[in-house]
Structure 1
Amino acid sequence: MIYNIAAKTHSSINLFRLDENTFSILKYDEFALLMTGFDYTIINQQLVSVFDELMSNELEIRPIRILRRVTNEKWDEFFELIVKEHIDIDKIKIVDENERSVWQFDHHLFVSESMKNKIERKFEGEFEFSEGFSHFG
């Protein structure tokens, strides 16, 4: 089984990609440990070692900068996850989770059950998990 992962701290922040390593805030809200949008999956610096240690061969972790132009604020403690394997509703039935630990569907991040368990142990109470596409209606 694979699981959709999301930060429990919901944020309505909306980012726009300016270039490969820079994002601008379109709608400001609190930052979450994991933020996803139309063309990005971004994690806070404290998650980098976990994702790198557990799934380094399945994704690229790229440092980014987030800008808030109206206040001239900038944040450099965030990283973009570039997931190498994408999944769809048909493929979920045949996924062998022993081969991979992380997948992308549109702007949603999915992890294997073993990865889910590791993340839950390291970041107790910080994330929500739902089975497969159970919340995609």
Structure 2
Amino acid sequence: LYPTLAAGDAIERYNGWDGKNDTDRIRRKKESFTLALASGVTIGFGGDVGVYPHGENYRELELMVAYGMSETAVLQAATDINARTFHLENLGQVRKGYLADLIAVPGDPTKDIRAMRVVPFVMRNGEVVKKDF
């Protein structure tokens, strides 16, 4: 399941929702996500970027946590789960023989997923391509 929680959230906000009292769409998203978690279905990360500004993919991560998924499980969904479900060999884990596509963020996203909002370090295929610290 790729729940695209941030897409529904963005659409409701564009329609005037202030984020306080859940709309029917938001209630249904929360209910279906809760059921998916309870059923043990594999959940990946996909936020339908384009409904909201590019570079704000963290919105999906934050909503997945807000709707009941642990920070660690969310990070696994965005890495290992996505790599496995899309059959992408040598991706999704930090292991010998895997591509060295890594990021570093301030703070600990396993304790507070909002740490993913700022990405000062990016390594692509073993080469540093961004270092803002």
Task: Please indicate the TM-score interval, normalised by the length of the shorter structure.
Answer: under 0.3
- Structure (1 or 2) with the greater helix fraction: 2
Structure with max Cα Rg: 2
- Structure (1 or 2) with the greater strand fraction: 1
Q: Normalising by the residue count of structure 2, what TM-score does the alignment of the two structures yield?
A: 0.23
Q: Which has the higher contact order (CA 8 A, sep 6+)?
A: 1
